[in-house]
Structure 1
């Protein structure tokens, strides 16, 4: 075993520090050194990935000199994601340990992961994914007729393209099997909690942009009003919960977004303070892994939950999203050094086990 790990980053982007690296990358590299391992950062760009000679050099270097890689490329920082994933897939086929495997990034990180879990206790069974415009336009008027919904695009971040959609006249829910195109609706985007009054047909035309293109899709799920009480995010290192973030949306109006940009307030808790949720979630990891392609769990990932109420009036948790492409752990600052050490230990253990 070479005891060498490559960390892939993207050139540029707003997620870099003064040294040009993500602020959580070098702490992980340094953590590996305490175990006698070497970490090396390779930065990629669209130009490098398009250049067959340059990309081949990088691929061959990593193949011949490393035991595995850790992907720290933020979605959106590289447009040539397909070429990037092809390189990662080849490295995994060559026997390197992918953290994560590119298909795991797709399986866990794509919004339609929710639909693959819709027959479990984690997600409501009326959760849909639209991969073509025709299906979206024929099905969404039916789902909205039953109650308030949330539409989530597959691309984007910080709440962009995530819409809370409700009827202007709430008394019309349940009256129709399907809504007319001129039905008046109110749409609130999670990015900044701004609301717009629109007609259903016009809004669906607007949403076509989220479906077209590579990996385009829309996920349609029921709106859970208890999001106002806060979204609960579990930060996971492989199989271990590290901390829980309670993200309370801003007060007033139609606000439902749990992003900092929208004014949400964050509180960081130890896992033991959410013992019931953590225990329930960890019991379901084998089922989640099976449903999402049976790939190994990501190295650093998050699961977001929203409170709901069951038929007996008791609290229950609903999975709203999984993130795993490039989850950061720079906040809160006092946690970063501790987490980096834990990441280093996980990397050594995962690779050693896989290479044994």
Structure 2
């Protein structure tokens, strides 16, 4: 491997891509389906790229090897797939960033942008409803959620889930009771509720207290929390996702839930239909998000933009009757784009990653 010394800085022109073994996101070759396209795109650009698998027992060896041979890392690891939990993996990434490698994305960026309580940090903006809340303790959840539900349908979101797991639409089962409840009144534990999970749109009828006991699992443990957000009825018209590479919007996905019942999930697994559009077709939304991004960065703690990330919006109705957009989630830990490889996103990712290394060293790296 060629090593360049530029202004006293050792530059390898090489980027490591992290993965973990196993998990439902892997293809027959053991990689995520979008990992090797990224690696090949980096190599086609004249840089070195290599996939390295993380195991907790290899952490120190990986640190030594990566710092000696690479300028940057790209994380393609679903935190839920890390053996023994994500702590050791995030610690390695933090150490690599501290050692001078360009991190994409760093644990700080993942936590700032990707944690579900990012919505709570933004509830002073026009992006999310002001009554969006987060519960970090079981006691607070049991105290406040019965009151929150008295105002109308709510959505609970766990911090660790993916593809809709642990995201629940919650409503009072008896419509007459729901209409008669005085907002601000704590509902009793035996109130019958209807809960629909986004992972597959299945619905359960159970007592409020029993359901809350079930949800305690989402709060306990590392990075546990539940976000409590107002249900947006126009979700049935579809969720609108902007996929970005760095600051650049690449495409917009209109994800329409399967019709019928209390369906609200916008995941492919639940039967939602996806339409892929160019950003120009959603100009109002894309421009609004671009204008809001500095505010988002300020509220979430810095402008370290993730390498590959998404922002999901739901439609709402403004007081004047026009469409408005409500932010439902930001994802950046391990955004996949398998269905969009023919759009050339891997080349955009490679160019952005290489550009970040060149910017960091503030020098022209020879070919």
1:39-78 aligned at under 5 Å gives the runs: 39-44=49-54, 48-49=55-56, 51=57, 54-78=58-82
Render the CA deviation track for 1:167-222: whole Å, top value 9, x for unaligned. Answer: 12331343552211121211111111111111111111111111111111100000
1:87-166 aligned at under 5 Å gives the runs: 87-166=92-171
Q: Of the candidates 34, 39, 51, which is equivalent to residue 29 of structure 1?
A: 39
Report the counterpart of residue 348 of structure 2 in structure 1: 342
Deviation of 1:334 (Å) = 2.3
Go from structure 1 to structure 2 and tell me whether the alpha carbon gap of 1:280 and 1:295 turns closer, same or farther (over 3 Å shift): closer
Report the counterpart of residue 339 of structure 2 in structure 1: 331
Contact 2:314–2:325 under 8 Å retained in 1: yes
| TM norm structure 1 | 0.95
| TM norm structure 2 | 0.92
Render the CA deviation track for 1:251-306: whole Å, top value 9, x for unaligned. Answer: 11000000111111111111110000000001111111111121510000000000
1:1-356 aligned at under 5 Å gives the runs: 1-44=11-54, 48-49=55-56, 51=57, 54-78=58-82, 79-168=84-173, 169=175, 170-175=178-183, 177-335=185-343, 338-356=344-362
> C-alpha separation between the residues in 1 aligned to 2:67 and 2:94?
11
Contact 1:8–1:41 under 8 Å retained in 2: yes
Runs of 4+ in 1 over 6 A off after TM superposition: none
Contact 1:191–1:262 under 8 Å retained in 2: yes
Q: Which runs of 5+ in 1 are unaligned?
A: none
> C-alpha separation between the residues in 2 aligned to 1:81 and 1:250?
33
Q: Report SS of the residue matched to 1:331.
A: helix
Q: Report SS of the residue matched to 1:11.
A: coil
Q: Report SS of the residue matched to 1:69.
A: strand
Go from structure 1 to structure 2 and tell me whether the alpha carbon gap of 1:32 and 1:205 turns closer, same or farther (over 3 Å shift): same
Number of residue pairs matched by the alignment: 348
Q: Report SS of the residue matched to 1:16.
A: coil
Q: Report SS of the residue matched to 1:347.
A: helix
Q: Report SS of the residue matched to 2:179.
A: helix
Deviation of 1:35 (Å) = 2.5
Q: Report SS of the residue matched to 1:282.
A: helix
Contact 2:79–2:85 under 8 Å retained in 1: no
Contact 2:294–2:303 under 8 Å retained in 1: no
Q: Which runs of 5+ in 2 are unaligned?
A: 1-10, 363-367
Alignment RMSD (CA, Å): 1.2
Contact 2:199–2:269 under 8 Å retained in 1: yes
